[in-house]
Amino acid sequence: MLKDVFMALSKNQLLTSAAKKYGLKLGAQTVVAGTNVEDTIKSIRELNALGISATVDNLGEFVFERSEALKAKESILEVIEAIQANGVDAHISLKPTQLGLDIDYDFCYENLYEIVAAASKYDMHINLDMEDYGHLQPSFDLIDTLSKEFSNVGTVIQAYFYRAQDDIEKYKDMRLRIVKGAYKESVEHAYQTKQEIDANYIKLIEYHLLNGKFTSIATHDHNVINHVKKFVEDNQISNDKFEFQMLYGFRKDMQVDLAKEGYNFCTYVPFGDDWYGYFMRRLAERPQNLNLVVKQVFNKRTNTAIGVFAGAFALSQLVSKKKK
């Protein structure tokens, strides 16, 4: 039930605006690298010093204004230039809805095209993050067109979707990130139980490791990571064929340990002021992440405005659910 509450919170426009206004609060600063490019480059340098590369996400999603999508595009172009100018080991992750997929498909494509073309000059990879089911096929359509011209694009396969096996076969020649899936999806399209999702996740990872180009295994699940370690050893898959990925701020010790063990490791580094939806999804995935919030809310009085606001909303959701 807590998961549903946080998923509902993640889409709340009022709280999203409040969060932008009040900056990095509610514990988000532990999982978001900063609000500007300089802070982010500094965080990437720190990761690079530990032998970890970065995939940088200029936070933002579900954009409905052209001006906002154009601003996001400019911001991503700025990050590409900053990565290149500073010589850090990093590439880009972005969300199609941030670049206007909900406004107009062609408008989104033009924005994306500009970004992919700019990055290709530096041989920099661009990953299209996958969002909810409603945006899945249009996102693959964008990939299909872009990949005809560029080789520096890749995307994500979400293991909870029934169609994931077909997609991974179709895109096997592409660098793919494989995840369990972060959005709330209906039984019509997606597995619902942890057992089913985990089983499909392992199946997809194994398939792409054996048949695909480069595999990014993006998970905080130590059972999956241990399984992969054994699988690559048994099948003599070399370390340059895959990497592990985790989100910034999560399981930091394990991130460093995996890099020290000699595995390629890449941290997903989100930055910017549009952190609210991202952060709420992290709470939905793992309510224990609430301890990040609790520490921050009680440490700094200024955080309480959003904290109380969010708490009141969460409670109202719980009450209305109980009534149903």
- What is the set of active-site residues? 129, 177
- Count of chain residues binding ligand FAD (CB under 6 A): 21
16 scored as a contact of ligand FAD (CB under 6 A): no
DSSP H helices in the chain: 2-10, 13-22, 37-49, 66-86, 105-120, 136-149, 164-170, 194-211, 222-234, 252-260, 276-285, 290-299, 304-323
**Would you say 182 is a known binding-site residue?**
yes
Contacts for 305 with CB less than 8 Å, ≥ 6 apart: 18, 22
Coil/strand/helix, residue 309: helix
Contact call for residue 285 and ligand FAD (CB under 6 A): yes
Q: Interface with ligand FAD includes 32 (CB under 6 A)? A: no
Rounded to a whole number, what is the largest CA-CA distance in the chain? 57
Which residues touch 115 (CB under 8 Å, ≥6 apart)? Answer: 73, 76, 77, 80, 92, 94, 99, 126
Asked whether residue 194 is marked as a ligand-binding residue, the answer is yes
Residue 130 labeled ligand binder = yes
Write down the least CB distance from residue 160 to ligand FAD, Å. 8
Only one of the segments 15-23, 61-69, 96-104, 244-252 lies at the binding site for ligand FAD (rule: CB under 6 A); that segment is 244-252
Answer for which of 8, 31, 90, 156 binds ligand FAD (CB under 6 A) is: 156
66 is in an annotated binding site: no
Q: Which of 31, 33, 116, 247 binds ligand FAD (CB under 6 A)?
A: 247
11 makes contact with ligand FAD (CB under 6 A)? no
Give yes or no for residue 129 binding ligand FAD (CB under 6 A). Answer: yes
Q: Please give the backbone phi and psi of residue 75, each rounded to the nearest 5 degrees, phi first.
A: -65, -40
**CB contact at 8 A, 111 and 99:** yes
Residues comprising the binding site for substrate? 95, 281-282
**Which residues contact ligand FAD (rule: CB under 6 A)?**
129-130, 156, 158, 179-183, 218-221, 245-247, 250-251, 268, 285-286
